[in-house]
Each structure stands twice: as structure tokens, then as C-alpha cells.
Amino acid sequence: MSQQYKAIIIDDEPAARRLLKSLLLEHADVIEVIGEAGNGKDAIARIEEMIPDVIFLDIQMPDLTGFEVIERLKQKPNIIFTTAYEQYAIKAFETFSIDYLLKPIKEERLEQSIDKLKKFGRLTRSVDLSGLQEVIRQLQVPQKAAALPIKTGDRINLIRFENISFLESSDKYVYINTIDGQKHLTDQSLTALEEKLPGIFYRIQKSYIINKDRIKEMHRHFNSRYLFTMDDKANTRLTSGRTYHDSIKAEFGL
């Protein structure tokens, strides 16, 4: 007689929990569902309180992702992720042999996971955290930032990177100049902004960062400087700093 495993089901959709529970009833000799949770915070509390052997963990939940739930657990049980990710995204799970079930959940696939549990007494050798991190990284690639959030009063404006022509600092403020000629003011420093901006943004002077995709022309200027004409409404002309000469030369392959 094999061991019986205590399980908790974590999913933000009641129907999804119900479905899994009814599917697991067929395997009552191996798995006993002792609890469920509808969000990440509840899940952590339940797991720490009930100490299950295995958890069925939904990845996309509104408050915390499944990954964040695991990060916050002191003791990590066996984990079977449940996810609606596309097939291509799921490759990462296989690469790091992390157990998962695709939604809508198939009974045969669930059986495989349970067989594995029966055979080895556990799933993957504990949770390979670095593998997990890699999975997270791969799944989150499309989530790259595409816009700069700028707070003005109670409002947050999103300025899309591709619409930014250049950033100009003056005194304590930075003006974000868009291609249609608008200026947005922010009190973040140019250096802080530089870190947030993607690689298409390039500093050409102490007080200017430009969008490389929005350069219309660049010319050699006097005194180791370059003159940039931007592809914006006013065809703004900006001069680079002398000390930036070498790095500009290297950057643009001049």
C-alpha cells in the first residue's frame, strides 16, 4: 500500500478548483485534498498551517503569482503548477523538469504526474530554485516595459518610449520631449531615468538623453562635438558634449 499525499489546491477560479478536486477524487488512494485557496496570500497561510505534501498551484493569480507564493514559503512542498500559458512558453518548464498541468486540464496528464509521485515518492528533486528563476525569466520576457510612467499631480501619464524624442535636464527637473512636440515635466533625475530607459536611449551630453531611433541626421561639429537633428516635429537640433565624443564615435561606428 503506497503512501497517501495531502494536497492543497490553489487557484483564483472556484470552477478550476472544483474541477481539479473532482479529478483528484479518482485518485483518492494517492491524494487527499485537505484544503484550497483562492489567492496567493491565503495560499501561503494555508500551506504554512496545514503543511501539505503537494500543492497544485495556479501561476496567474491577481494578488501574487504562483512563483511569488513559492518564494515566500519557508518549507517547500512538492509543486505541480497549473497554467494557461501557451504551449511555447511551457518549454521552459520541461527544460528544468518542473511539473505542470496545462489548462484546460486533461485527466491523462494529471495521471502521469500522480504516477510519478507514486513511483518516486516525490516529484522533481525539491524545487530547483535557479531553474525556477530561469522559467520565470523566460515567461516574463514579453513583459518588458514599453512606456515611461510620469506622475503629474494625481495622475500618471504613460509616455511610450517610441514617442520620446529626447530628454533634457534643467535645474532639478527633466523635460521629456515627445516627437509631436509635447513636453512632460518630471522631478526624477536624468541619471535615474537613464537606468529605466531601454537601450535605444543614449546620453549625448550631461543634460541630454536622445532616442537613437529618432535621429534624423548627425553631423560632425566643431570641437569634438556632434550635431544631432531629431526626427520630431520641430526637427530639434542637439549638440553632444565634448567628453562624450569617444563613446558616441564607438556607439555609432563612426
Partner 1 sequence: MREPTLLEYIILITVCLLTAFAGLYLLTQFNRLFRGSIKNELLRKNLAAWVVIFCFSTALLPMSGGFFYMLARFGWFHSIIGHIASTTITTIVVYNLARVIAESPSLRKLSFIKHKSLVILSLIISTLAINIPFFYYLYDGKMQYLKYAIINSIYLAGATGLVYAVISYLEVERKRKFDAKELELSRMRESKAKAELDALQSKVNPHFLYNALNSIADLSITDGKKGRKMTIALADLFRYSINYSNSNYSTIRDEVEMTEVYLQIEKIRFEDQLNYAVDVEEDFNHYLVPRFLLQPLVENAVKHGMKATGRMTEIKLNIRGSDKGVVFEILDNGPDFPDELNPGYGVKSVYDKLDLLFPDNYEIHFSNQPQKKVSLFIHKLMKDESAV
Which member of 2, 4, 22, 97 binds partner 1 (CB under 8 A)? 22
Only segment of 49-57, 66-74, 141-149, 222-230 that touches partner 1 (CB under 8 A)? 141-149
Which member of 3, 75, 130, 143 binds partner 1 (CB under 8 A)? 143
Which member of 29, 63, 94, 115 binds partner 1 (CB under 8 A)? 63
Kindly state the helix (H) or strand (E) to which residue 9 belongs, with its residue range. strand 5-10
Only segment of 11-19, 73-81, 110-118, 127-135 that touches partner 1 (CB under 8 A)? 11-19
Which member of 163, 177, 205, 211 binds partner 1 (CB under 8 A)? 163
Task: Write down the least CB distance from residue 14 to partner 1, Å.
Answer: 5
The x, y and z cell numbers of residue 187, run together, are: 522631478
Amino acid sitting at position 250? A
DSSP 202-243: EEEETTEEEEGGGEEEEEE-STT-EEEEESSTT--EEE--GG
The x, y and z cell numbers of residue 94, run together, are: 520541461
Taking the C-alpha atoms of residue 223 and residue 64, their distance in angstroms, rounded to an integer, is: 54
Contact status: 42 vs partner 1 (CB under 8 A): yes
Q: How far is CA 42 from CA 10, 57, 178, 225, in A?
A: 9, 12, 44, 59
Which member of 129, 147, 200, 234 binds partner 1 (CB under 8 A)? 147
Alpha carbon 192 to chain centroid, angstroms: 20
User: Which positions touch partner 1 (CB under 8 A)?
Assistant: 12-16, 18-19, 22, 38-39, 41-42, 60, 62-63, 84-86, 102-105, 142-143, 145-147, 149, 151, 154-158, 160, 163, 180, 217
